[in-house]
Amino acid sequence: MKNIAPNRNGDMLKTDIEFGGDGQARVTLAGHLNAQSAPACWDRLTHDLFPARVTALDVEVSGLQICDGAGLALLRYLNMGIKTPSAKVSVRGLQPNLQKNFNLFTLQDYENFRPQAPRKCHSLPDEAGNATAQIGADLREQIAYVGQVAASLPATLANRRAMRWQEVWRVFELAGANAVPIISLISFLVGLIIAFETSQPLAQFGAQIYVANMIGLVMVRELGPLLAAVLLAGRSGSAFAAELGTMKVNEELNALQTFGLDPIRFLVIQRIVAGVLLAPLLAFYATFMGILGGVMVAMGLGFTLSQVMRQLVSSVHWSDVALDASKGLAFGLIVSAVGCLRGLQTQQGPSAVGASTTRAVVSSILLIVIADAVFSVLYYVLMK
């Protein structure tokens, strides 16, 4: 046997490496194998073992007094044969409590969690093809989701036991009542800003009284439901995605399915119903607060409350109020459905829930603007 002199690292770890005939090698470790001594031991083993043609490696660790996570990682690395690819490795002498932790980590774990090599840059056609495939897969999931919701909604509403109204009221409170302060502030300020911005141009024509008409039409037809929907998407749509995404990451959705409960009926329908009932109320409230801000500006310009109210009544009709309610219903359906969909699409990983939340807000706002454009075109065509 050829004996290589022992190596000491601050008198903490003694490392002996012996090479014998027929490719046999023996490593003896004694002392403290921890985060302080493991790097030097790692370098020593790499320098001596990796170039050698070792076919059998025996690692004796009965002399270890202390072995922490770094030491166990080094021993497991040796035992997997990565430093000696063609050798049969055995680690002997571990204490029972360390042996249990030693056996938890496998070669498969190492391959799964090791840093991956950077992906090669793909050509433009490849990137376009991958993006198209992802869009197609997402579209299929959306169609399947819409079908599941459409099939489950009537049956769930008809079954009083299946429809958990307490959950609906809970979501109603969290998404609606708690959103009143921020909707009040933003809607009031938007109405006030619009009134101030329109008062100066109208003053050039001696028509400042029409500030009331302007604020009434703008808030009822457009900004009231739009502001409520955007705020609902930012607060509640993201919350729906985060809640369902966290449930999926924690495998709670799989647990529901194991118990025979459909996540669509048990979790999604309640949030959609709450969103559809809630959004029109928030739209009316946002409209009222916006008009209130405009009325205060008009009164500040010297007009009486009766004059302002007369202009509002003459400009706002029941068809405008119906449009406000219709937009609220549509926007509430969009926000709640998209938020739940993105939550159910959450992948695994530390950033998965955040990514789903971002996708929910962006998708909701985009669909809200598209739906608003469709409403505007239809209203123009029908009211001509």
Alpha carbon distance 28, 14 (integer Å)? 8
Q: Among 94, 113, 132, give the residue marking a domain's end.
A: 113
The domain of 358 spans 143-382
Torsions phi, psi of 7, nearest 5? -115, 135
Task: Give me the pLDDT at residue 2, please.
Answer: 40
Structure tokens at 330: 């549509």
User: What is the DSSP annotation of 332-376?
Assistant: HHHHHHHHHHHHHT--SSTTHHHHHHHHHHHHHHHHHHHHHHHHH
Task: Give me the pLDDT at residue 252, please.
Answer: 86
Please say whether the beta carbons of 56 and 24 come within 8 A: yes
Secondary structure (H, E, C), 255-299? HHHHCCCCHHHHHHHHHHHHHHHHHHHHHHHHHHHHHHHHHHHHH
Name the residue type at position 56: A
Please say whether the beta carbons of 214 and 251 come within 8 A: no
106 and 171 fall within a common domain: no
**Does residue 123 form part of some domain?**
no
Task: Give me the pLDDT at residue 106, please.
Answer: 64
Name the residue type at position 179: A
Q: What is the C-alpha R_g of the chain?
A: 34
**Does residue 122 form part of some domain?**
no
186 and 87 fall within a common domain: no
208 and 271 fall within a common domain: yes
Specify the CATH number for the domain of residue 88: 3.30.750.24
Token pair 């042996």: residue: 99
218 and 355 fall within a common domain: yes
Q: How many helices (H) and strands (E) does the chain have?
A: 16, 5
Q: Among 113, 129, 156, give the residue marking a domain's end.
A: 113
Total count of domains within the chain: 2
**Does residue 52 form part of some domain?**
yes
Please say whether the beta carbons of 228 and 190 come within 8 A: no
What global pTM score does this model have? 0.66
Alpha carbon distance 223, 191 (integer Å)? 9
299 and 368 fall within a common domain: yes
Task: Give me the pLDDT at residue 285, please.
Answer: 93
Query: Any residues with CB less than 8 A from the CB of 373 and at least 6 apart, and which?
Result: none
Work out the end-to-end distance of the chain between its first and last CA atoms, rounded to an integer number of angstroms: 102
**Does residue 37 form part of some domain?**
yes
**Does residue 173 form part of some domain?**
yes
**Does residue 13 form part of some domain?**
yes
DSSP letter (8 states) at residue 81: T
Residues of the chain with pLDDT under 70: 1-11, 81-85, 105-122, 384
Name the residue type at position 80: M
Beta bridge partners of 32: 66
DSSP letter (8 states) at residue 4: E
Please say whether the beta carbons of 268 and 311 come within 8 A: no
73 and 194 fall within a common domain: no
Task: Give me the pLDDT at residue 284, please.
Answer: 93
Alpha carbon distance 342, 142 (integer Å)? 10
Q: Among 113, 132, 155, give the residue marking a domain's end.
A: 113
186 and 48 fall within a common domain: no
336 and 284 fall within a common domain: yes
For the CA atoms of 221, 227, 233, 235, the dihedral, rounded to the nearest 10 degrees, stands at -150
Task: Give me the pLDDT at residue 237, please.
Answer: 87
**Does residue 8 form part of some domain?**
yes
Token pair 């840059």: residue: 121
281 and 205 fall within a common domain: yes
175 and 314 fall within a common domain: yes
371 and 324 fall within a common domain: yes
**Does residue 127 form part of some domain?**
no
**Run of H or E including 33:** strand 24-33
156 and 63 fall within a common domain: no
Torsions phi, psi of 374, nearest 5? -65, -45
